[in-house]
Amino acid sequence: MAVAPKPSILPEEQIPDYLIYEIMDGKPVYYRDYQAVLNKTKTLDDIMGCSSLQAEIISYLLGIIYRFIDTRKYRVYSNEIGNHIDKNNNLSNDIAIFDKNILTADKINKKYPDVPPKLVIEIDTEADVSALTNFGYIYKKTNKLLGFGVERIIWILIDIQAVLVIESGPDGVSGNWQVRDWNMDIELMDGHTFNIARYLDEEGITVGE
């Protein structure tokens, strides 16, 4: 009977930087399953790429966005766009929409944007959440984005087929959290909605357990 390799116990300072997904509170947050790369049971490509279902949902949302967005006013970024919040926090987003009055042309460079998006969309997470739990990670990251100035954050949680919608409060920090089933029409931005369950059904896509 084959014996599974023991988990790596490399000290943090010896874990390669390419396995870092984000920096939060000055500490690295690694890619989910990074230990499998250290143990050579998975490759870096195995853990960095999103699933076909995640990619399909991102494609669906981007399709809606590009039908209504005014590109004279907004910039739409995807592909794990980074956010440089401060020297201790570099966060990653699946989709981010920036106001061009905030992310001006002179701020476009080879570094992460250091101004807040108007809207952030996350589809699950590629992060290792063993130190926080999945909800703990979502809660902490969301509050950092709100504190940075993000107005609206949408988390799409595939395993429980739910959508978290968080909007900044009057103080710009505390958020109004709502949990929706993903078979509901949910506002994306400016009155435009999405419905993941209906889209997947129309495409003949079945979400397994």
CB of 109 closer than 8 Å to CB of 98? no
Structure-token pair, residue 2 = 């084959």
Query: Torsions phi, psi of 200, nearest 5?
Result: -60, -40
The predicted pLDDT at position 201 comes to 96
Domains in the chain (CATH in brackets) are: 18-47 (no CATH), 50-203 (3.90.1570.10)
CB of 127 closer than 8 Å to CB of 148? no
CB of 57 closer than 8 Å to CB of 123? yes
CA distance 88 to 15: 18
pTM for the whole thing?
Answer: 0.88
Render pLDDT for 114-161 as a digit per residue (tens, 0 to 9): 999 999 999 988 888 888 888 899 999 999 999 999 999 999 999 999
SS (H, E, C) 189-204: ECCEEECHHHHHHHHC
CA distances from 138 to 83, 132, 165, 202 (A): 16, 9, 12, 29
- HSE-up of 76 (CA within 13 Å, CB side)? 16
Within 8 A by CB and 6+ apart from 188, the residues are 61, 64, 65, 119, 154, 194
**Is the CA virtual torsion 50, 51, 56, 58 positive or negative?**
negative
User: Is the pLDDT reported for residue 90 higher than 90?
Assistant: yes
Render pLDDT for 30-78 as a digit per residue (tens, 0 to 9): 988 888 889 888 888 878 877 899 999 999 999 999 999 999 999 999 9
Dihedral, CA of residue 59, residue 60, residue 62 and residue 66, to nearest 10: 130
Cβ atoms < 10 Å from Cβ of 97: 24
